Amino acid sequence: MPAETGSIGIVVVIGSVRPGNYTTKAVGLVLDELRKFPDVHVDVIEPTGMDLPLPGAAGATSAVKSIRAKIAAAAGVVFATPEYHGSYSSVSKLLIDNLGFPSELSGKPIALLGVASGVIGAVKALEHLRSVCSHVGGIVLPGPCSVANVQKVFDEDGNCLDSVTEKRIRGLPAKLLDYIRRSVCPWASLEETVRGSARAE
C-alpha cells in the first residue's frame, strides 16, 4: 500500500497540459495540504510530454509503466481535471485508458477535483469522471470539489483569491486521508499480520 515504509502513498494526477492551466494552480493547494502530513508520500503525474498511446495501440511505453507502478503502490489517488465541452479532459481519459485491465485504479480510493470557467463549475466533468473511475473499480469518494469561475479564483501566480474556495480545495486531501486511515490502513495491517503468521508456521 504505502509508497515508502511507514508512509501513505498518494498519487495526484493533473489532467491538463495547457501552459499556465488553472488545474495545476488548484492542485497546488492540494499538494500544500498533503505535504503537511509527515506520514504521506506524494507522487505527481503531470502528463505534459508523456508518451501515452491511444487505446488499442500495442505495448506499454516506459511512461505508462511508470504511471502504473506509481498508482499500484499508492494508497489513494487525486484526479484533477478541467471541464472541456461538458466533460473531463481527454488527457485524463487517455491516462485512465492506459492503466491496464484490470485497471490499476481498481480498489483505490479516489478524490476528485474539477475546475471550470463557467458559473456552475465542473459539475458535468466530475459526473463523467466519477462514472468512469467507478466503472474500472475505483472507490470514488463522495463530495468532489468543483471550482467555478476559476479564472477569477486564482491569479497568474497561482494564489487563491477566494477563501471559501481555498478551504474547500484544502479539505479534499483530508477527506481522502481520513478514508484511507479508517478503511484502508486497518485492512493492510491485518493482511500483513496474516501473511506474517503464515510465514512463521
Please report, rounded to a whole number, the percentage of residues in the chain having pLDDT higher than 70: 89
CA–centroid distance for 200 within its chain: 37
Helix H or strand E segment including 197: helix 185-200
In the predicted model, what is the mean pLDDT of residues 50-75?
Answer: 92
Q: Which residues contact 102 (CB under 8 A, 6 or more apart)?
A: 136, 137
pLDDT at 58: 72
Mean pLDDT rounded to a whole number for the chain: 91
Domains along the chain?
Answer: 8-200 (3.40.50.360)
pLDDT at 176: 98
Strands (E) located in the chain: 8-14, 40-45, 76-84, 87-88, 109-115, 139-140, 145-147
Identify the DSSP state of 141: P
Concatenate the DSSP letters of all residues of 39-80 into one string. Answer: TEEEEEE--TT---PPTT-SS--HHHHHHHHHHHH-SEEEEE
Q: In the predicted model, is pLDDT for residue 130 greater than 90?
A: yes
pLDDT at 194: 46
Q: How confident is the model at residue 1 (pLDDT cuts 50, 70, 90)?
A: very low
Q: In the predicted model, is pLDDT for residue 10 greater than 70?
A: yes
- Chain segment 185-199, per-residue pLDDT in tens: 765 554 454 455 555
Going by C-alpha positions, the residue among 166, 139, 150 that lies closest to residue 32 is 166
Task: Copy the grid coordinates of residue 88.
Answer: 473531463
pLDDT at 190: 47
pLDDT at 175: 97
- Chain segment 137-161, per-residue pLDDT in tens: 999 999 999 999 999 999 999 999 9
Task: Copy the grid coordinates of residue 38.
Answer: 509527515
